[in-house]
């Protein structure tokens, strides 16, 4: 049994529209956090760029409401912090090749196991909602980027409570590294787990698609794409696909 990290609250819901949305409502009402929220069922879960996130019973849906004590311009770096924490957590449950897909997915044997969504929350002071969905028992079929679950990997499926406790503990470890050492330590840890590093990828932007060699991420977490022009292009946001 993994101990729940000290100083972090926890709220459980049987059903809710979205744990991220609830975190934003709580922040607006003055909740300070840090507070984890988790739900058995989400009726309006969402991912990046407003995409819907399918929530099947037995999977983990959770959000951390947090008011980081570093400048707000650095908060987006926490997507890499939670990704590392999630990768380490899933590696403890599954005998699979766990990797991180830029910008914020966790892969198992090359398929999507978990997704992450960061959103700002307005209130008496700014806050951050760090949402994560993990395919423990089920995974969607027919998605553009293939998905997988712990069950499909043949792993022993943890309860959502055990999975969240492990994730919360792992997050505290990496969050404290980020606070003490800054993003460079996180960047190096993320790159050590990066999927497709040094290989050719396709990067889909809002209005175009580009391809090149995935060279890494810069000091702000942006993708470095070598398109053969002598200098890597810096892409702050995109969807990437492996060749």
Q: What is the pLDDT of residues 170-193, one digit of tens each?
A: 999 999 999 999 999 999 999 999
Helix extents (H) in 54-119: 78-91
Mean pLDDT confidence for 49-68: 81
On the question of pLDDT at 39 being above 60, the answer is yes
- Centre a 10 Å sphere on the Cβ of residue 68 and count the other Cβ atoms it contains: 20
Residue-range domains of the chain with CATH:
9-191 (3.30.930.10), 200-242 (2.30.30)
Nearest to 114 by CA among 143, 148, 137, 91: 148
DSSP label of 56:
-
Confidence of residue 1 (pLDDT cuts 50, 70, 90): confident
pLDDT at 230: 80
Q: How far apart are CA 72 and CA 127, in angstroms?
A: 9
Question: Do the beta carbons of residue 106 and residue 93 sit within 8 Å?
Answer: no
Helix (H, G, I), strand (E, B) or coil at 205: coil
Question: Do the beta carbons of residue 122 and residue 179 sit within 8 Å?
Answer: no
Nearest to 27 by CA among 133, 119, 104, 132: 119
Entry pTM: 0.94
3-state secondary structure string, 79-93? HHHHHHHHHHHHHCC
pLDDT at 221: 97
Question: Higher-confidence residue: 124 or 53?
Answer: 124
Give 9-39 as a DSSP string. Answer: EEEEEEEES-HHHHHHHHHHTT----EEEEE
Confidence of residue 46 (pLDDT cuts 50, 70, 90): low
For the CA atoms of 5, 7, 13, 19, the dihedral, rounded to the nearest 10 degrees, stands at -90
Region class of 221: left (phi > 0), else alpha (psi between -120 and 50), else beta:
left
Q: How far apart are CA 146 and CA 219, in angstroms?
A: 29
Q: How far apart are CA 64 and CA 34, in angstroms?
A: 7
pLDDT at 212: 96
């Amino acid at each position: 049994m993994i101990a729940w990290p000290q100083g972090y609250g926890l709220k459980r819901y049987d059903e809710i529209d979205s744990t991220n949305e609830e975190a934003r409502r709580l922040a607006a009402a003055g909740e300070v956090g840090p507070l984890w929220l988790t739900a058995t069922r989400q009726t309006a879960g969402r991912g990046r760029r407003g995409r819907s996130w399918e929530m099947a019973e037995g999977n983990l849906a959770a959000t951390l409401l947090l008011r980081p004590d570093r400048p707000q311009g650095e908060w987006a770096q926490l997507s890499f912090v939670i990704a590392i924490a999630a990768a380490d957590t899933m590696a403890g449950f599954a005998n699979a090749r766990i990797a991180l897909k830029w910008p914020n997915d966790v892969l198992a044997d090359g398929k999507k196991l978990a997704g992450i969504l960061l959103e700002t929350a307005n209130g008496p002071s700014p806050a951050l909602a760090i949402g994560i969905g993990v395919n423990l028992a089920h995974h969607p079929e027919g998605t553009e980027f293939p998905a997988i679950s712990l069950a499909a990997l043949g792993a022993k499926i943890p309860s959502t409570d055990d999975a969240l406790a492990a994730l919360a503990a792992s997050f505290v470890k990496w969050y404290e590294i980020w606070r003490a050492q800054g993003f460079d330590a996180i960047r190096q840890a993320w790159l050590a787990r990066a999927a497709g590093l040094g290989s050719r990828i396709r990067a889909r932007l809002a209005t175009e698609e580009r391809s090149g060699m995935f060279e890494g991420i810069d000091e702000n977490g942006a993708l470095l794409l070598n398109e053969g022009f002598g200098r890597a292009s810096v892409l702050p946001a995109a969807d990437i696909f492996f060749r």
